Structure 1
């Protein structure tokens, strides 16, 4: 019991690590679709102002805002919605099982972002600096 209590004091830093690592991986999904980096999607780059292009904008720029912890709660809310939409529109129709439909990452992102809506940015964020 005492060990878990002493670990609790690091919860803001652990939350920040979760936020930062999630954002870094999420940003890559956006840069892949927008710039072909680190590799272009198999279907090619989406056309400007298409649904996939708007998704890529959310992933790259929303991911960056999550990375630095700026407006974390509202941005995370939007990104959770984007990932829920992506799952139900593009993954779920392929199969009921996330492992088979390729949607397991979308589910994880959705719930991590939903958690950030309630938990906030944690330590090492612009949001925490603006509080004083």
Structure 2
């Protein structure tokens, strides 16, 4: 039984880390055009609206917090809400109800993964786990 718990915590950590890395990539692409210079969804890297700048900074710094497992639950809840609102206002609104057709499948998946992390916590290999032991 203890092995199962350890495997679950490890799998949760891998999910958290991979998801955070992908979110950081999305935010960095909007902010500085890296890793896909000139190909970002925002279309005008370096010339973002104030709202888009704030949201992109949340993606990068929130992603870093989730990546390291620091304040995972509250940060994941904030990011889940951001993804849900973004999906509703940008992708779902006035477009197809099917995520694959409205371009919001990644945002929807991010939202639900972050909601899951908000309830489960970071898993293994996190600052939250280290701080809990102190």
TM-score, normalised by the number of residues in structure 1: 0.90
Structure 2 contact 32–46 (Cα < 8 Å) conserved: no
Tell me, in whole angstroms, the C-alpha distance in 2 between the residues paired with 1:14 and 1:49: 37
SS of the residue corresponding to residue 130 of structure 1 reads helix
| Equivalent runs, 1:54-93 vs 2, <5 Å | 54-93=54-93
Residue in 2 that maps onto 1:104? 105
* Structure 1 residues not aligned, in runs of 5+: none
| Equivalent runs, 1:4-19 vs 2, <5 Å | 6-19=3-16
Stretch deviating more after TM superposition (110-119 or 36-45): 36-45
* Structure 2 residues not aligned, in runs of 5+: none
Tell me, in whole angstroms, the C-alpha distance in 1 between the residues paired with 2:25 and 2:31: 10
Structure 2 contact 33–45 (Cα < 8 Å) conserved: yes
Residue in 1 that maps onto 2:21? 24
- Alpha-carbon deviation of 1:8? 4.0
Structure 1 contact 46–52 (Cα < 8 Å) conserved: no
The root-mean-square deviation of aligned C-alpha atoms, in Å, is: 1.7
Q: Which runs of 4+ in 1 moved over 2 A?
A: 5-9, 46-49
Mark the CA change 1:48 to 1:98 in structure 2 (over 3 Å): closer, same or farther: closer
The number of equivalent residue pairs is 129
Stretch deviating more after TM superposition (109-118 or 37-46): 37-46
- Alpha-carbon deviation of 1:55? 1.2
Residue in 1 that maps onto 2:33? 36
